[in-house]
Amino acid sequence: MIGIKINKDLQIAIEASLKAGKVIMQVYDTAFDVEMKDDKSPLTEADKKANDVINSYLVNTELPIISEENKQTDYATRKKWTTCWVVDPVDGTKEFIKRNGEFTVNIALVTNGKPELGVIYVPATKTIYVADVASKQAFKTQVNSHDATLEDVVQGATKLKPKAAGSNPVQVVGSRSHMSQETLDFVETIKKEGKEVEVVSKGSSLKFCLIAEGNADVYPRFAPTMEWDTAAGQAICNAVGVDVISQNTNKPLLYNKENLLNPWFLVRK
């Protein structure tokens, strides 16, 4: 066991993610229906049920919530928020529908636009990633049950450690569902530097986890994402010294913006 301190907000986020994972898997094991939202993205009963569970936990913190499945609060109100939750109840709904297990629960706490706490739970494998950016601690645990206690999560924890820079081949994280031409061009740029490239594919926010735990070198995302897709992953990366850099500003991604759409970004140490 590693030395870990869990504050109250992080404890609530951990508990919420585990219980959300439980209802997600209950739907996963049935013949579920798929709806299409206005933006043509898919929605299942799992998204709705998980959102209800997460809201029921986070409401106890009395902090506002930005969730993919909540009605978004007008920016005139949101811009006054110093601290808020940023939540994706089921990140990787396409992976959920394909039943490949690569979907996650994402919960992040953001203060002044910067992620400070992050939890990513992978219900299909019962693996949970947890980070506290200020204390520079990030770990993962595989639990035996969605009903695992906080003590179970802490006892089984292993520290996350990214790869050292300069490896060859360079492991580039690519999406199973969103490999854009710009990403392919980025890969060609690395090859022109004389390095070999190995593309590592993962769905959902697991792409951030690959970098944070040393199973890949760089994650270029030159395609649309929303704040709830990235906030928890950024917290986990930031806690181990990995940057998530906007390609618009060359600075870290910020949250609770007027437009919740992210710019393109690059994740690397």
Q: Using CB atoms within 10 A of its CB, is residue 216 exposed (0-12), middle (13-18) or buried (19+)?
A: buried
b or e along 59-82 (b: 16 or more beta carbons within 10 Å of the residue's beta carbon)?
Answer: eebebbbbbbbeeeeeeeebeebe
How far apart, in whole angstroms, are the C-alpha atoms of residue 62 and residue 15? 16
b or e along 87-108 (b: 16 or more beta carbons within 10 Å of the residue's beta carbon)?
Answer: bbbbbbbbbbeeeeebbbbbbb
Q: Name all domains of the chain by residue range, CATH numbers in brackets.
A: 8-159 (3.30.540.10), 170-268 (3.40.190.80)
pLDDT (tens, 9 = 90+) of the chain, 269 residues, equals 466 889 999 999 999 999 999 999 999 989 899 998 887 788 889 999 999 999 999 999 999 999 999 999 999 999 999 999 999 999 999 899 999 999 999 999 999 999 999 999 999 999 999 999 999 999 999 999 999 999 999 999 999 999 988 889 999 998 655 667 898 899 899 999 999 999 898 989 999 999 999 999 999 999 899 999 999 999 999 999 999 999 999 999 999 999 999 999 999 98
Instruction: Tell me which DSSP letter residue 194 carries.
Output: T
> 206, 101 in Cβ contact below 8 A?
no
